[in-house]
Amino acid sequence: MRTLEPVRALRKRRYAPRVSPEQRLWWRRLLLVFAQPRPVFAALRSTDEEDEAARQEPVLLVVLLAGMASVLFSAAWRGVLDQPAVDGLAAAVLTFVAGGTQGAVAYLLVGGAIHLGSRGMGNSARFRTTRHVLAFAAAPFALSLLVIVPAALIAYGGDWFRSGGADEGAGGDVLLAGGFVFAFWSAGLLVLGLRETLGLPWAGVAGTLLLAGVLLAGLAVLPSVL
């Protein structure tokens, strides 16, 4: 049996997932962005390919969780269990799929609009850098999924996903207000990220967000025009 131990150890090393030091660093920075965001956004200036690749998993997690949070806080999802064909498991699967899709679309469209807005302000940062700024800024909103939704389920259970349930009233409004607090926190981090990572002055930050808002508004009304 002892002779098999080195073979087993070799197999474990071969098939164990390898996490590079850079990846571990960016997972720590994902946590650090809640308390000390400036050095995190300063680190996003790096355009080293390995460093950018090490951010992909934290970025993917934030995009997924933030997308799911946006779905769960929407008015339409508050009545998802009203449909007879949808039970708790189906609602969870739909939330995961819809959240992942919505998060990815927002990551690309909002990131693209902010990137074009920064270009309009004379900034020359790469599109990937701008997207990563958006993703790390969205970390508090992603966190809201792990804070507000469990609180809603503990307080109201399935009524949170049914119209006319016990959550209709002040208690439900307080939980939704909590979601807005996380959203405003993310908005503040986005402003800080545009300053720290892209090096934009305050006027440039305001101009970037204004141009991005105009572009997104144009995309929103385009289908009705066509």
Band of residue 5 on the pLDDT scale cut at 50, 70, 90: low
Task: Provide the 3-class DSSP secondary structure of residue 130.
Answer: helix
pLDDT at residue 13 is higher than 70: no
Listed in sequence order, the residues at least 6 apart from 55 whose beta carbon sits closer than 8 Å to its beta carbon are: 26, 44, 132
| pLDDT for 167 | 59
| pLDDT for 21 | 87
pLDDT at residue 24 is higher than 70: yes
pTM of the shown model: 0.86
Residue with the larger pLDDT of the pair 72 and 203: 203
